[in-house]
Chains A and B, each alone.
Chain A
Amino acid sequence: MNWLIAILQTALLVGLSPLLAGWLKRCKCFLQNRQPPSVFQPYRDLLKLTRKQPVLSHDASWLFHFAPYMVLSATVLAASVVPFIAVDLPTSATADVIVLVGFFAFARFFLTLAGLDVGTAFGGMGASREVTISSLAEPAMLMAVFTLTMTASTTNLAFAIDHVLQAGLVLRPSFLFALFALLLVAVAETGRVPVDNPATHLELTMIHEAMILEYSGRHLALIEWASQLKLMLYGVLIANLFFPWGIAQSLSLNALGFGLFAILLKLAVLTLILAFAETAVAKMRLFRVQEYLGFAYLLALLGMLSHIVLEVLL
């Protein structure tokens, strides 16, 4: 039963991720005085892509075919670890937060290799920038998450959330630092403004789009879906780690329904904040990104130090 709910929860998370992308687009359009597409547009796009005939370069190798499947399954695995509507499900024990970061690294490894595979300048450029940004973002993310996990003295996400729930609403400086760090990292890792702009195809600025330029058809659909799922995952992670209230702690139908409602509400609010930020902030130069991520790293480190200095003694 538990396993069934865990699988259903993962499926729901995977299934709802295009909806989040649609909602984000809608919010942005709304803020920028544009006519928004339907929130279900990402589903239609994915469906359209799966029906199209993929075109592959003569220079593409087996790795190029293989990569989209690897990317999506690694991201789905990451989704299975993150508590979405209910906590204490068996899947969260199979992997902890370090493994979660590992899954993201796994997906990125294949995506960047696929970028280099065809041998165009665009792919190489995207891959090079992606590994640069991620190698700065990954430590910051780990540090931010470690702050939380040290407070709860577990690296298991479900147990960490349990701990936060039991502790009740305590204002911890370390959590505040970690929250801000994680927000900054999430923006960088999911390729949003100001680090990357998912809406443009301009060689000076693009990162993610440059890497996947050679993909088409179902392969592109898989990668798009994976990146929407990644955005969703970061949202869920931030929402449930820092504001876990509402998440289902028992497996009754009521609790689950309420949990789903709560997380959707939290995500809607988070997305609105992201849309505001994306509208208000301009994309920054590539070589300003290290300052941005360095700041995130510093915040995470401050969070950890404040945990160690201030909170352990309490």
Chain B
Amino acid sequence: MLFLAYLAVLLSIASGGLALFVNQRVFVSSLWQQLPVSLRQQPFYCMTDDAHWRVVIQRSVFVLLGIASVAAIIAGLGGLLSKQILTDQIQLGLPWLPWHVRFDSLSALFFLIVGIGTGAVSLYGTGYVKHYQEQDHPFAVLGLFTGLFVAGMLLVLLADDAFFFMIAWEVMSVASYFLVAFQHENPANRRAAFLYLLMAEVGALAIILSFGVLASFSTGISFEAFRAAHLSDTWASIAFCLALLGFGMKAGLVPIHVWLPEAHPVAPSHISALMSGVMLKIALYGFIRFCFDLLDKVQWQWGLVLLLLGTVSALGGIFYALLQSNLKRLLAYSSVENIGIIFMVLGLAMIFMANGHPELAALGFIAALLHAFNHALFKNLLFLGAGIIQQQTHELNMEMLGGLIKKMPRTSVTFLIGCMSISALPLFNGFVSEWLVFQTALQVDVLESGVLRSLIPITAAALALTAALAAACFVKVYGITFLGVPRSHHSEKAVETTDKGMLTATALLAGLCFLFGIFPSLIIRLLNQVSSQILGQALKNDTALGWLWLAPVDAGQASYSAPLVLVSALIAAGVCYYFLRRTPDTLIRKSATWDCGFGGLTPRMQYSANAFTMPLRRIFAPVWQLDEQVKKDLSGALNQQVDAVHYQLHIQDHSWQWLYQPLENGVNSIAKQVSRIQTGNIRTYLSYSFVTLIVMLWMVS
């Protein structure tokens, strides 16, 4: 297994390295010339054309990435099935600090997630990068950092000491920074990338500090030593808070989520898919590893913090997603929502764990992992779908789209499946994990504390609201983007993409969404493995987890059988169809849309994305910082005639005003204070050096 895991890492680095050769045809062929003639009888040599060479290199970069992802998937599945914990040491880095490697079922699960995500991207990428101009957007940069990014994510999962972990973490963060900044000709993109880098580094600092706290109580910086450490409650809580800050920043918890809706939309779509679908899960992995594995015991107060933060993130994320009209930005906010749900149920798991109900903790833990897995599938799918839309219409603003269901029939089906999964509709995978979250929340009766007992149902209510709003949000996404009549020239001229890889990637993910929606027990069995290794407790009711039934606690409490539901749905629909099958009298007649007898329906008369959410915007107005302006162009006698109406809606995150503005002002004012000592006078500076020297000497002596 470990060999496959290394292979995946090496192959992804290799694919990055190979990308560097995209413009080096002459160099490579000159190398080729020096080889003995007998070895030169390869088709390789006949590629004298630059464009052809580039296509071949691009394709082989993604093929390498694809092989890496297959290796990662097999390693992940193998790790989950074999139930073994593999450890190793690599003699790299500093001579007295070998890198510790550990591959247990938690790593294996996330290997699987990374593998599936990367696999889809490698199928999709070739088609997607074709439209980049080599001069403006060099493929070498994109390919190199994609490879490094994937390798970094895989290494984070393998790391078993703080040093190695941080190196891998930084490789992942910095590589993804370059990917976000890839289309740097736009100032907004550069700003987004900088914000991302800043927050990633602040987060990394917090993580280093949290490791530092652990290290001071243990004998070394390997995770093995951390596990053995015993912290006092206060220090454990400090470490927890720092880890929450660090990993939460990467995962995108409200209010430290602000980089996410800025950075994800500006990266190339397959990178957004990797970042949103996979990288956020790596942050989640780090958090789970830290709290459930490294810290020796969890406290219920932490669970409460997670529960509240998760609820706020879930609600905040979906509220902001609801009003976005940029498709990728909307998807990014929806990631905040899903991460919120995951943290919420992790919090529940912690509360149950600390109160001595390990079985319910296992249920919550599995629900969190399952939702992470499902989110990786459907968010990848939706971002890749958005990428196809962007490529075919050159537009991400929903207000300019519409009617794509007829122009792009295949994409429309896979995107619909993505929307249904993320809206948590039965038969699809998103529903199963939300169902498990509800089941966990409803076990609250076993808790002693009255506060928790009344708080958890309220968060369950918030979750119900989140789920309903998510469905509303994705009805908007699908309805405005794919249905109706085209709202612009671009969407009218759109055609289905001809690239098979792109369609296969989305179809594959859609298929997985459906498969795990119908047979969730397949994956839940594997997750049970993770739970028994990390929490030391699995769901006891193994027989109730048959392939047909899902009954996490007890068959008498709750059960769900998706296959039977599917069968009965098919029967019901079949019976309807059979009785209503077309007789010659009732063949469908095509006619114009009813226009109330006035005539002249135009696409502008349809509901727009903003109009669609207007009732919700009005009902929940205090949630957003809204700036709504209506301007009328008046003319004619006494300015009575309205020529045109301009409507502008600007939505601002509350956290900017309440958290980041004061922070920025604070930093600025401190900087001003500091600038007082910078007089610009050489004598002052010399005296500073002198005083410093004296102080140092005094300290040394």
Q: Does any Cβ of A come within 8 Å of B603's Cβ?
A: yes
Contacting residues, chain B, for A304 (C-beta < 8 A): 457, 461
- The answer to whether A119 touches B606 (Cβ under 8 A) is yes
Q: Does any Cβ of B come within 8 Å of A172's Cβ?
A: no
- The answer to whether A113 touches B478 (Cβ under 8 A) is yes
Contacting residues, chain B, for A108 (C-beta < 8 A): 471
A-B contact count (CB 8 A): 260
Q: How many residues of A contact B (CB 8 A)?
A: 84
Contacting residues, chain A, for B445 (C-beta < 8 A): 150, 153, 308, 312
Distance in angstroms from A120 CB to nearest chain B CB is: 6
Distance in angstroms from B542 CB to nearest chain A CB is: 18
Q: A58-B593, A98-B435 are in contact. Are A117 and B484 (CB under 8 A)?
A: yes
Q: Does any Cβ of B come within 8 Å of A106's Cβ?
A: yes
Q: A77-B572, A102-B424, A102-B426 are in contact. Are A146 and B469 (CB under 8 A)?
A: no
Mark interface residues in B383-418 (1 if CB within 8 Å of A CB, else 0).
000000000000000000011011000000000100
Mark interface residues in B274-304 (1 if CB within 8 Å of A CB, else 0).
0000000000000000000000000000000
Q: Which residues 454-496 of B sit at the A interface, judged by CB distance below 8 A? A: 454, 457-458, 460-462, 464-465, 467-469, 471-472, 475-476, 478-480, 483-485
Mark interface residues in B541-583 (1 if CB within 8 Å of A CB, else 0).
0000000010000011111110011001100110011011000
Q: A98-B435, A116-B483, A218-B580 are in contact. Are A135 and B472 (CB under 8 A)?
A: yes
Bound: A237/B461 CA distance, A: 20
Q: Does any Cβ of B come within 8 Å of A76's Cβ?
A: yes
Q: A52-B586, A128-B615, A135-B465 are in contact. Are A119 and B576 (CB under 8 A)?
A: no
Interface pick from A30-38, A154-162, A190-198, A272-280: A154-162
Q: Does any Cβ of A come within 8 Å of B217's Cβ?
A: no
Q: A59-B485, A127-B479, A143-B461 are in contact. Are A102 and B442 (CB under 8 A)?
A: no
- The answer to whether A96 touches B558 (Cβ under 8 A) is yes
> Of B405, B557, B572, which one neighbours A154 at CB under 8 angstroms?
B557
- The answer to whether B573 touches A139 (Cβ under 8 A) is no
Q: Which residues 125-162 of A sit at the B interface, judged by CB distance below 8 A? A: 125, 127-129, 131-132, 134-136, 138-139, 142-143, 146, 149-150, 153-156, 159
Contacting residues, chain A, for B572 (C-beta < 8 A): 72-73, 76-77
Q: Does any Cβ of A come within 8 Å of B627's Cβ?
A: no
Distance in angstroms from B639 CB to nearest chain A CB is: 28
Contacting residues, chain A, for B423 (C-beta < 8 A): 105, 109
Distance in angstroms from A1 CB to nearest chain B CB is: 18
Q: Does any Cβ of A come within 8 Å of B605's Cβ?
A: yes
Bound: A222/B579 CA distance, A: 11
Contacting residues, chain B, for A214 (C-beta < 8 A): 593-594
Q: A58-B592, A70-B573, A105-B423 are in contact. Are A135 and B469 (CB under 8 A)?
A: yes
Distance in angstroms from A203 CB to nearest chain B CB is: 9
Q: How many residues of B contact A (CB 8 A)?
A: 83
> Of B453, B483, B555, which one neighbours A113 at CB under 8 angstroms?
B483
Distance in angstroms from A50 CB to nearest chain B CB is: 6
Interface of B is mostly: helix
Interface pick from A61-69, A249-257, A262-270: A61-69
Q: Which residues 587-621 of B sit at the A interface, judged by CB distance below 8 A? A: 587-595, 601, 603, 605-607, 611-616, 618-619
Distance in angstroms from A135 CB to nearest chain B CB is: 4
Q: Does any Cβ of A come within 8 Å of B49's Cβ?
A: no
Q: Does any Cβ of B come within 8 Å of A284's Cβ?
A: no
Q: Does any Cβ of A come within 8 Å of B380's Cβ?
A: no
Contacting residues, chain A, for B479 (C-beta < 8 A): 112-113, 115-117, 124, 127
- The answer to whether A117 touches B483 (Cβ under 8 A) is yes
Contacting residues, chain B, for A116 (C-beta < 8 A): 475, 479-480, 483-484, 607, 612
- The answer to whether A98 touches B438 (Cβ under 8 A) is yes
Q: Does any Cβ of A come within 8 Å of B420's Cβ?
A: yes
Q: A94-B565, A99-B560 are in contact. Are A53 and B586 (CB under 8 A)?
A: yes
Q: A53-B586, A308-B453, A312-B453 are in contact. Are A93 and B561 (CB under 8 A)?
A: yes
Name which residue of chain A comes closest to B554, CB basis: A154
Q: Does any Cβ of B come within 8 Å of A95's Cβ?
A: yes
Interface of A is mostly: helix
Contacting residues, chain A, for B612 (C-beta < 8 A): 116, 124, 127-128, 131
> Of A57, A74, A142, A309, which one neighbours B569 at CB under 8 angstroms?
A74
- The answer to whether B468 touches A138 (Cβ under 8 A) is yes
Q: Does any Cβ of B come within 8 Å of A173's Cβ?
A: no
Q: Does any Cβ of B come within 8 Å of A301's Cβ?
A: yes
Most buried by A among B402, B457, B605: B457
Bound: A309/B454 CA distance, A: 8
Q: Does any Cβ of A come within 8 Å of B136's Cβ?
A: no
> Of B557, B558, B607, which one neighbours A127 at CB under 8 angstroms?
B607
Mark interface residues in A181-195 (1 if CB within 8 Å of B CB, else 0).
000000000000000
Bound: A113/B475 CA distance, A: 6
Contacting residues, chain B, for A286 (C-beta < 8 A): 615
Contacting residues, chain A, for B438 (C-beta < 8 A): 98, 142, 155
- The answer to whether A69 touches B475 (Cβ under 8 A) is no
Q: Does any Cβ of A come within 8 Å of B514's Cβ?
A: no
Contacting residues, chain B, for A117 (C-beta < 8 A): 405, 479, 483-484
- The answer to whether B593 touches A139 (Cβ under 8 A) is no
Contacting residues, chain B, for A234 (C-beta < 8 A): none
Distance in angstroms from A95 CB to nearest chain B CB is: 6
Distance in angstroms from A253 CB to nearest chain B CB is: 26
- The answer to whether A53 touches B587 (Cβ under 8 A) is yes
Bound: A119/B603 CA distance, A: 7
Name which residue of chain A comes closest to B570, CB basis: A73
> Of B420, B439, B457, which one neighbours A305 at CB under 8 angstroms?
B457
Contacting residues, chain B, for A5 (C-beta < 8 A): none
Q: Does any Cβ of A come within 8 Å of B643's Cβ?
A: no
Bound: A165/B46 CA distance, A: 83
Q: Does any Cβ of B come within 8 Å of A177's Cβ?
A: no
Distance in angstroms from A10 CB to nearest chain B CB is: 9
Q: Does any Cβ of B come within 8 Å of A121's Cβ?
A: yes
- The answer to whether B594 touches A120 (Cβ under 8 A) is yes
Q: List 16 A-B contacts (CB under 8 A).
A: A55-B588, A55-B591, A56-B589, A58-B590, A69-B577, A93-B561, A119-B601, A124-B612, A131-B472, A132-B619, A135-B471, A139-B468, A146-B460, A150-B457, A222-B576, A312-B453
Starting from the known contacts A113-B475, A142-B460, A300-B461, 4 additional A-B residue pairs (CB-CB under 8 Å) come to A55-B588, A113-B483, A135-B465, A287-B618
